[in-house]
Structure 1
Amino acid sequence: MDKLEIFKTIAAEVNRGDLVFPTSVDSSLRLQKALDDPDCHVDAAAKMIAADPLLSARTVALANSVAYNRSGNEVTNVRLAVNRLGFRTLKAMLASVIVRQLNSQVKDPALKAKAAQLWEHSAHVSSLAQVIAKQVTKVDPETAIFAGIVHEVGGFYLISRAEEFPGLLDGEPATWIEYGERLIGRGIMRRLGIPESVMQAVEALWHGVCAFPPESLGDTLILANDIAPVLSPLHNNEGDKIARFSRRINFEFEDGNFQDVMSDSEEQIDSLTAALML
């Protein structure tokens, strides 16, 4: 079976809803569903998160990051962390856990390295997107974080299937962009219940056309992706680098200068990226 046929096979599975997820993802999806319940109380959410040591650590770390700890007062338990973050940020953080769990059963060292680099890229994009949303485009920063976390979810899923289909991720990215992102990526996002506005922003990233100055969630995601210091391993070829670096331009917007804003926000970006990388 050639690579195109492999993509079509996986895309057909995704469209039928026949997704191969680790059991840990199913558990996290159940928690996500519980958090979507408007009657879910902070105490109940904290109890569910506390049952997972890794999730607990990430929740507290995120609450203590510069982005969410303006006062400098550290929280030391899950309930206080949940209270500080709020459910919307908590669901974005849970999405980061789900995305990373997609590759929890990968054994091949090269694929594990790709997954690690893809998550590092996603964490940087997510952190940059929050600052760009707050300071430049004035879209909801929590939605921007979430969009950054999930924008490569199709790539994580294909890495999780690559041991089953050797050669799946080899070669030039043209086929990957057409099938991996636009067919498989859409199906995975639907299965994970990604809001339509976020799906549209991710699709805008696939097309890569950004307004200047940027103004939409899609523009926010494109710009964050372009300036992220770590590239996606699924798009990392010389043509991608040339296109990306040609976009690393400065511009003026209503409230100031883009490079100045990003420089002033460096500590916040680094802190949030580190919390997501745990």
Structure 2
Amino acid sequence: METSQEEHSQPVANKNGEDLKADRFRMLEDIARELAGEVIFPTYFDAALRLRKDLQNPDLPTARIAKIVSIEPLVAAKLMQLAGSALYSPDGSPAKDLSAAISRLGVDLVRTTALAIAMNQLLRSRDMAIFNDLTRALWDHSIRTAAAARILARTYTRINPDEALLAGLVHDLGAFYMLYRAVQYPELRVRPDSIKYLIIQWHEGIGVTLL
């Protein structure tokens, strides 16, 4: 059942119990429909803004582009997906890490793709300001996890450290996406605890689907 904009714009009622469960379920239904298509959503506004600014420099060296892109989870995931597509990988072999993906795609395409995604994120980020503390916490957690994964892989395993960094970077994509969807429901925007509950329960499966 489609959820109309009119329903989302109605005054927020003091819901609880079964009514609140129905709101949560409606959001999850909408997410399931959207995941069937192309999904672009904001992660953290400041990161998207910095990415957009840096990539506008036409003289940026390749190493710097790789470093910039590697700190933005959605851009990194999209570039990995593109590098593994039939157009850029005729034999079907996936890129093992972000550096390999950038080498395969070329600097110009990486810059164009990353900039397009970042600008799209900026257009969608304004409504997420209500969850700014939570998005910042998720962002910081993603960066710390990525750094720790790289160090552990390099020190204790034979896993490619860059591949481990990428895994840490994108492991909370589902949580960012759920926050973006939550702001579209007035009755959920005023209930951060309810959103946190949904994220804990569902973000891992949704993240796998996004990737």
Question: TM-score by structure 1 length?
Answer: 0.40
Match of 1:159 in 2: 179
SS at match of 1:107: helix
Match of 2:89 in 1: 38
Aligned pair count reads: 147
1:133 Cα deviation (Å)? Answer: 1.8
Match of 2:21 in 1: 4
| 1:142 pairs with 2:175 | no
| 1:13 pairs with 2:30 | yes
Aligned ranges 1:63-142 → 2 under 5 Å: 105-108=124-127, 109-142=129-162
CA contact (8 A) 1:102 1:156 kept: no
Identity %: 18
Q: For 1:191 and 1:101, locate their aligned partners in 2 and report how far apart those are by CA, in whole Å.
A: 17
Q: 1:5 to 1:188 in 2, by over 3 A?
A: farther
Q: 1:184 to 1:9 in 2, by over 3 A?
A: farther
Q: 1:6 to 1:31 in 2, by over 3 A?
A: same
Q: For 2:89 and 2:38, locate their aligned partners in 1 and report how far apart those are by CA, in whole Å.
A: 29
Q: 1:105 to 1:112 in 2, by over 3 A?
A: farther
Q: 1:51 to 1:139 in 2, by over 3 A?
A: closer
1:123 Cα deviation (Å)? Answer: 0.9
Q: 1:52 to 1:172 in 2, by over 3 A?
A: closer
CA contact (8 A) 1:122 1:151 kept: yes
1:176 Cα deviation (Å)? Answer: 3.8
**Structure 1 residue aligned with 2:204, among 161, 168, 185?**
185
Q: 1:10 to 1:144 in 2, by over 3 A?
A: farther
Q: For 1:166 and 1:119, locate their aligned partners in 2 and report how far apart those are by CA, in whole Å.
A: 24
Note the aligned Cα RMSD (angstroms): 4.1
1:135 Cα deviation (Å)? Answer: 1.3
Q: 1:133 to 1:119 in 2, by over 3 A?
A: same
Q: For 1:138 and 1:158, locate their aligned partners in 2 and report how far apart those are by CA, in whole Å.
A: 34
Q: What runs of 5+ residues in structure 1 fail to find an aligned partner?
A: 56-96, 193-278
Match of 2:108 in 1: 47
Q: For 2:164 and 2:102, locate their aligned partners in 1 and report how far apart those are by CA, in whole Å.
A: 25
Q: For 1:172 and 1:187, locate their aligned partners in 2 and report how far apart those are by CA, in whole Å.
A: 19
SS at match of 1:116: helix
- Residues 4-44 of structure 1 show CA distances to partners (whole Å, capped at 9, x for unaligned) of 3333223233334356844899x967754431133589475
Aligned ranges 1:167-206 → 2 under 5 Å: 168=188, 170=191, 172=193, 176-177=196-197, 179-192=198-211
Q: For 1:41 and 1:176, locate their aligned partners in 2 and report how far apart those are by CA, in whole Å.
A: 34
Task: Name the one with the larger helix percent.
Answer: 2
SS at match of 1:38: coil
Q: What runs of 5+ residues in structure 2 fail to find an aligned partner?
A: 1-14, 44-73, 91-100
Q: 1:148 to 1:103 in 2, by over 3 A?
A: farther
